[in-house]
């Protein structure tokens, strides 16, 4: 299953950290394998969040990999773009983060952004197909900018995790500008105060968006510290089962709720495919 993580508001912080938090929460509770990647090159990337769990040496798996092509997502994209696709290809460019469950395609940042964006777009379908053969879920961190890859991934995704502010006007603006993706969106909304929560819920009801697709994310200072320190995986793992008396409880509960919503979509899709396979077998 393909899940896009997208922050519609460029001023908001957190979508990449939420992606990692949800991926860790997912593999703690569910038996699925997840690969995470970005559709854009950036200096502050998922690798920085995962730096305590990902070794730089993992970018040197392939003898033919050279500095000028990139040994992470850039190298993988270039291989697929040139048609050099074979079953073991992914193993050369993907690093294991949590054993047998969570994987990441790192960046080496040696290719110009525009070249990478073009080649990524050209090989997107082939790459997703390759990833889906080996992993249950693919979490993609997509760019704020409305570029070719953002549009393509939004269309290709089974589910879109949309990060919005609590501002009612911003939510209405999103709903009016992106009506075609509302039905497959899960909304993460920063909860900064209780004043406008009723307005937010009323907007969802007005546009017939189920409230179980709304997850309020409270601010959490420890999350930010863990993000900057490369300890986000340890933070989520440590507090995943924390009790209500813990100051991190509300944040962890929101991450667990988001995870359960994603897995509900995942398991619904699996059930549909199983039924289709059964019916085909009966014909």
pTM above 0.85, yes or no: yes
Mean pLDDT of 205-215: 92
> Tell me, what's the pLDDT at 56?
46
Q: What angle do CA 272, 278, 283 make, to 5 degrees?
A: 125
> Tell me, what's the pLDDT at 123?
94
Mean pLDDT of 220-243: 91
Contact 108, 41 (CB under 8 A): no
When comparing pLDDT for 273 and 240, which is higher? 240
Q: Taking each helix axis from N to C terminus, what angle separates 197-206 and 168-177, rounded to the nearest 10 degrees?
A: 20
**pLDDT tens sequence across 170-184:** 899 999 999 999 999
Please, where are the H alpha helices in the chain?
Answer: 15-29, 46-49, 73-81, 89-93, 113-134, 148-156, 168-177, 197-206, 221-229, 232-239, 249-282
In the predicted structure, residue 153 carries a pLDDT above the cut 50? yes
Mean pLDDT of 137-160: 89
> Tell me, what's the pLDDT at 134?
93
Phi and psi, residue 36, nearest 5°: -120, 145
Q: What is the dihedral of CA 81, 2, 159, 157, to 10 degrees?
A: 20
- Say yes or no: domain 2-282 is CATH 3.40.50.970: no
Helix or strand or coil: residue 63? coil
In the predicted structure, residue 238 carries a pLDDT above the cut 70? yes
Helix or strand or coil: residue 98? strand
Q: Taking each helix axis from N to C terminus, what angle separates 113-134 and 73-81, rounded to the nearest 10 degrees?
A: 80
Mean pLDDT of 106-127: 87
Q: What is the dihedral of CA 9, 14, 18, 19, to 10 degrees?
A: 70
Most confident of 66-70, 140-144, 238-242, 274-278: 238-242
In the predicted structure, residue 277 carries a pLDDT above the cut 50? no
Q: Which two tokens stand for residue 193?
A: 């105060």
**pLDDT tens sequence across 10-20:** 777 789 999 99
User: pLDDT > 70: what percent of the chain?
Assistant: 85
């Amino acid at each position: 299953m393909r899940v896009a993580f997208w922050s519609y508001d460029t001023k908001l912080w957190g979508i990449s950290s939420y992606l990692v938090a949800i991926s860790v929460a997912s593999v703690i509770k569910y038996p699925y394998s997840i690969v995470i990647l970005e559709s854009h090159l950036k200096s502050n990337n998922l690798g920085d969040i995962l730096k305590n769990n990902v070794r730089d040496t993992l970018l040197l798996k392939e003898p033919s990999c050279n500095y000028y092509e990139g040994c992470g997502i850039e190298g993988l994209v270039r291989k697929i773009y040139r048609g050099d696709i074979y079953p073991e290809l992914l193993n050369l460019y993907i690093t294991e983060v949590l054993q047998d469950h969570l994987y990441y395609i790192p960046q080496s940042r040696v290719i110009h952004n525009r070249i990478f964006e073009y080649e990524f777009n050209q090989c997107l379908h082939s790459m997703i197909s390759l990833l889906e053969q080996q992993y249950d879920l693919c979490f993609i961190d997509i760019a704020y900018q409305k570029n070719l890859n953002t549009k393509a991934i939004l269309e290709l995704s089974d589910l879109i995790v949309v990060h919005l502010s609590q501002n009612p006007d911003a939510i209405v603006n999103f709903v009016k500008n992106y009506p075609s993706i509302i039905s497959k969106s899960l909304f993460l909304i920063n909860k900064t105060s209780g004043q406008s929560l009723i307005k937010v819920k009323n907007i969802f009801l007005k546009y017939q968006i189920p409230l179980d697709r709304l997850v309020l994310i409270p601010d959490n200072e420890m999350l930010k510290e863990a993000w900057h320190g490369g300890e986000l995986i340890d933070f989520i793992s440590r507090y995943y089962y924390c009790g209500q008396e813990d100051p991190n409880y509300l944040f962890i509960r929101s991450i667990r709720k988001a995870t359960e919503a994603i897995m509900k979509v995942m398991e619904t899709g699996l059930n549909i495919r199983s039924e289709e396979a059964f019916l085909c077998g009966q014909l």
